[in-house]
Structure 1
């Protein structure tokens, strides 16, 4: 009975090690597949022409609530109304 327990423990440990090693590269790929707060902050600051500090506060809040994105939309929008409202926008989905 004790021999079976040692064997089961050894097999379980080996399986956990193999799955852990297999998950390691996937975790690294996950990090490479998402944008960091600095990357989004600099992209937004360049696009809007504002200081990095002004954008950083909003980006930090969004990252805290929603996590790291794997894409962002870079575009513009215009709207106007007189009797009827009109909106127009175009943009590009930037994926990592």
Structure 2
């Protein structure tokens, strides 16, 4: 059964989301990865790590990672984690995982974010996020807005790109459930868990 949200709630949600995205300066074009941000991970390393993480569900993973590398280059970090979310027009997503870097160690991260649009359903998924141009661990703790036209689907995996300044995060997801439709939104990374997606 679909519950209709009051128009005032949707309007306030849309306004909050719009202001947050405007503050991010989200670009309509994919950001190009830059060099000089520490040691990067090679495509074979990422594919091997992803196969171990996703297990038997990893059929189309290599193609998706190759697509990400062809667009954004080699990442200097990645996150392995799990997330859940759902939507009835307005949606929410929550997750947690570990940020891996070559020269700055491994760090616990959490993420939350709202979305709005023609979007219905629920999901739970394992998520591998490729992180580009990360100058420090603290640079992950901000809001990342979606890049228009960055959606890519193959073999049960989906890939999108999100950007904040020069830092690009490319979530690669595989899981159960369905989120049908199109939406706009952002992810906010934090060092501790929080229920506040804004």
What is the TM-score when the length of structure 2 is the normalising length? 0.29
Unaligned stretches of 5+ in structure 2?
A: 1-35, 103-198
Aligned to 2:84: 78
RMSD of equivalent CA atoms = 2.6
How far the C-alpha of 1:51 sits from its partner, in A, is: 6.3
Q: Distance in 1 between matches of 2:63 and 2:53?
A: 16
Q: Distance in 2 between matches of 1:51 and 1:89?
A: 19
Q: Distance in 2 between matches of 1:35 and 1:72?
A: 9
CA contact (8 A) 1:42 1:52 kept: no
Q: Distance in 2 between matches of 1:92 and 1:38?
A: 20
Q: Distance in 2 between matches of 1:85 and 1:67?
A: 31
Q: Secondary structure at the match of 1:69?
A: coil
For this pair of structures, how many residues does the alignment match? 66
Q: Distance in 2 between matches of 1:40 and 1:50?
A: 16
How far the C-alpha of 1:81 sits from its partner, in A, is: 4.9
How far the C-alpha of 1:54 sits from its partner, in A, is: 2.0
CA 1:62/1:81 → structure 2, altered by over 3 Å: closer, same or farther?
closer
Aligned to 1:26: none
- Given candidates 44, 51, 74, the residue that maps to 2:50 is 44
CA contact (8 A) 1:34 1:68 kept: yes
* Higher percent of residues as helix: 1
Which of 51-60 and 86-95 deviates more?
Answer: 51-60
Q: Distance in 1 between matches of 2:87 and 2:59?
A: 33
What is the TM-score when the length of structure 1 is the normalising length? 0.56
Aligned to 1:65: 71
Map Cα deviations across residues 72-92 of structure 1 (whole Å, 9 max, x no partner): 01111012357x744321011
